[in-house]
Each structure stands twice: as structure tokens, then as C-alpha cells.
Structure 1
């Protein structure tokens, strides 16, 4: 399965990209780095610059139907930049419209709020997003990982880097289930 990993060039929490990416590869999937611009994206270890990663595909030149699922890594900057990019928000929303599975960790649900796809869903996130998610119509829970299959697709959310093992296991299981 081709899995889109959507990031902004300006910075993503590196471990929230690399660990789910590694897990996808080890499970035999084809992870694809999608961004709002061609070139490279910048990884961060909290506030410190880390590695850069080459972009495979650019939002606006591809659509959700080219992928079996979507992973949204977090960090504070990544979802903040993504939610300000109309093409990125439309790309995310398209996964929900097409009923494809989505996984988001840490601050990544900010992009889901902007795409207006959280209403009626039970989710988790980094704690500071609790009010944003509630205001957008979601039910927020403080759980390591949360699976919500409200609507036509599955949404897997997780709180933070410490939850990555559970997040990876759960998103891969849910994506496989959705693929049939």
C-alpha cells in the first residue's frame, strides 16, 4: 500500500515522521513523502534542527486516490503551516471524502480541524489541542492511541512521541483492515 506522509517544508517533529515511516516500510508498505513544495523538508528534535528529507510528491500535483492511507506527523510547526495551505487542507479532506484511513499524532490534528473533519469523532492529541478539538466538535480523550471509525473512514490519533510504538502498531493494523 502507498501511504502518504504529509509534512510542511518548514519543520516536522522528526521522530514522528521517521518511526511511522520505518514501521510502514517494515510492514511492506510504500511510504511517500508529500509536501507543499518540492525539494526537502526540515526535521526537528523538539526545537533543534535535525535531518532533512527529500520530498517525493507535491500537494496539488497528486490526489488522495493515489494512496491507501495518510499519516500526519506532528510537531508544532508542521500542522500550523499545513493548515494555512489550501491545497494541503484539501488533500487531507479528500482522504475523508474517499473513505481512506488517516493517522495523526501530537499536534497534527490541527490540520484535521482546519479540514473540518473532526466533528463527531473521539480523538486524542497533544494536550494543548484539547480545547481546539472540542471547539471543532470532537470528543477529546487522554489516551495513548484512539481509533475512531465514525463516518466512512478510520481515524487513528495519538498524543506524543512516547506513544509512537502503540501509534505505529495501531495505524498499521487499521490501514490493513481498511484495505480489506
Structure 2
């Protein structure tokens, strides 16, 4: 079992996040000992969905986007769902956070539709990535080398396609955090 007690992970999400893409990685990180913080547009509870339409449980963010200092974290987790990243990519502060993590070569893990934030932050040019099929043209247009694999690790960037890929996505994220711990 991984021991990530020194790792701090930031999750960015808002209403419309795909339930399993937030809760399953969050739980895996917590079980491995990581400190996990959820930031959103507001601190009101945000609504999860299953299959982008059926409401699931809510979760209350710890911080607003304006309260986030990227220097406080080792990794950024971006869950998908259609509505969540579509709203988040319009938030200038969310894009600034993604850019800061990428500029500092920190781990950024995005699943399903979440790579839309990577496109908006202009950080996929020349990177090998994957995503939900409807996002792939956007990634290609942004200069990404798009493949259809359950998880793609390109340096500090980890991407996956859908909820079925969560086990591989979680494994890649935890392994990347373990490596950061070894290098510290």
C-alpha cells in the first residue's frame, strides 16, 4: 500500500462532475494517506452526476478557487463529467491554477472531459494525451498527440478516458506521487 502522508493533492470541480471520477480517486488518495483539498467556484455543496445526467451525492468544497495557492500542493486532479469542466474552463482562476501546476512541472491528472481545461490553459501542445472521444478533436487542434488508451502518462501529465479507466488512472496518479515523495 502506498504511503502518501506527505502528499497534498488539489481537486478542482463544480456542479456536474462525474461522481466516480471525483469520489474514487479522492478515496484512493485518502486511503494512501494523502491530504486532499477540494476547490470550487463557491463553497456551497456541488452536485455530482452519473452519466452526465442522473444526480448523485453532493460534496462541499474546502476552498474557493480564489483561495488556492498552487505552491501548497504536489498534484492537481481534474475530474470529468460534461458540465463540470465546461463550467470550469470559463473560470480564469481555474485556468491560472492549471497553468501554474504545468509551469512548475507538478502532477496534473485529468480524466474524461477534464482535458478541456488543459486545452483552455494551452498546455497540451506536443504532449501525448487521451480523453473522452468527443474531446479528442479539441486536444488534436491544441497540438496534442491523442491516443486511445486507458491511461497516458507524459511526464507530469496523466490523462484517462472514462470512469472505466479509474483503476489505471488512480494507480498512475499514486505512482507519480510516490515518485515525488522519493525525489523530495
Give me the TM-score of the superposition, normalised by structure 1: 0.95
* In 1: Cα distance, 2:180 partner to 2:142 partner: 26
Post-superposition, which runs of at least 4 consecutive aligned residues in structure 1 deviate over 2 A?
none
Q: Which residue of 121, 133, 136 maps to 1:130?
A: 136
* In 2: Cα distance, 1:63 partner to 1:91 partner: 8
Q: Secondary structure of 1:60's match?
A: helix
* In 1: Cα distance, 2:20 partner to 2:12 partner: 14
Matching residue of 1:6: 12
2:41 maps to 1:36: yes
Render the CA deviation track for 1:42-75: whole Å, top value 9, x for unaligned: 1111211111101101111122101110000000
* In 1: Cα distance, 2:74 partner to 2:44 partner: 24
Render the CA deviation track for 1:107-142: whole Å, top value 9, x for unaligned: 000011001111110001001111100000000000
Q: What does residue range 104-143 of structure 1 map to in structure 2 within 5 Å?
A: 104-143=110-149
* In 2: Cα distance, 1:140 partner to 1:37 partner: 33
Q: Figure out how many residues of one structure are paired with residues of the other and give that number.
A: 175
Q: Which runs of 5+ in 2 are unaligned?
A: 1-6
Shift of 1:178: 2.6
Q: Which runs of 5+ in 1 are unaligned?
A: none
Give me the TM-score of the superposition, normalised by structure 2: 0.93
Q: Which residue of 44, 53, 59 maps to 2:59?
A: 53
Q: CA RMSD in A?
A: 0.9
